[in-house]
Structure 1
Amino acid sequence: MERLDSRVRLIWFLRVFVGSLVAGVIAAIVTGFVDSVTVSPLLVGGSVFAVLLVLGAIHVVLRYRAWRFEVREDTLYIERGVLVNVRTVVPFVRVQHVDARRGPIERALGLSSVVVYTAGSRGADVSIPGLVADRADDVQETLRRLAIESEPETGDAGDAV
């Protein structure tokens, strides 16, 4: 099983930091509007920020430890999840297309994500974040090639009536 690049933790932590900061500011603003509260809005906002940041940092570490993937002979296998362990198996015959994504923070860190879109219901896609850009390109090309190889032959469409 392959692990994600450790730099993905920084991206995840930055998201936690921004979310904690926004929640802390909102808590401070709401506290400032409540006249019956004798606690400083700055103290409330700072406390909310600190608690969410610590919990988020713990979640980032646990999330990184839980994330694994493997390109198998006929499937893509992914394990992830902190509170709920999710195991996803994507048969290559279900793969529609594969994208490589590189956002601005990912580009700055030399990372990329691979997104695999599958046939099925809305939202039927899986993503592998935190790959080094070259490895993401390799995974994308491998998945694309294996998806093409797994397609049924034109004469093998089944029983059409």
Structure 2
Amino acid sequence: MWAFGALNIAPLWSGAVTGGLMLAGFVWVVLHYRLWVYQIRADAIYLERGVVTHVQSLVPYVRVQHVDTSQSPVERVLGLSTLVVYTAGSRGADVSIPGLKPEEARDLQRRVKELAIEAEGDDAV
């Protein structure tokens, strides 16, 4: 008899756990996108990000190889884009700036590209 009573409680308990996990996931996503700060400086791109681990990156324009914009399916639905910066000596993207409006991402792409071309004559840091 006790086993049957426990089975009646299990759906309530599992629903509460599932709801709690979904809420925690939503909070994580919101914090993940809100805790991105970037600056386009005179000589480099500065980026701060992180929820649990705080990361600061500085990418000199003389290291920039190319700059892309991308949209995941979720970003497309939400009307957002990501700026992706590739640098010399790396296998993948060194800097990604998510959560941008598509026009803002394209303008930023153009600006970083222009600054990288201007910095071509400078020595790498």
TM-score category of the 2 structures, normalised to the smaller one: 0.7 to 0.9
In structure 2, distance between residues paired with 1:139 and 1:80? 18
Report the equivalent of 1:76. 45
Q: 2:96 corresponds to which letter in structure 1?
A: S
Instruction: List gaps (5 residues or longer) in structure 2.
Output: 1-5
In structure 2, distance between residues paired with 1:122 and 1:138? 25
Contact kept in structure 1, 2:83 and 2:98, CA below 8 Å: yes
In structure 2, distance between residues paired with 1:39 and 1:95? 59
Q: Say yes or no: does 1:54 pair with 2:20.
A: no
Q: 1:130 corresponds to which letter in structure 2?
A: G
Q: Per-residue deviation at 1:109?
A: 2.5
Q: Which consecutive aligned stretches of 4+ in structure 1 deviate over 3 angstroms post-superposition?
A: 38-45
In structure 2, distance between residues paired with 1:103 and 1:124? 15
Local SS of the residue matching 2:121: coil
**Between the two proteins, what is the percent identity of the paired residues?**
52
How many residue pairs get aligned? The number is 117
Q: 1:103 corresponds to which letter in structure 2?
A: S
Structure with the bigger percentage of strand: 2
Q: Per-residue deviation at 1:52?
A: 1.5
Report the equivalent of 2:34. 65
Report the equivalent of 1:89. 58
Instruction: List gaps (5 residues or longer) in structure 1.
Output: 1-37, 157-161
RMSD: 2.3
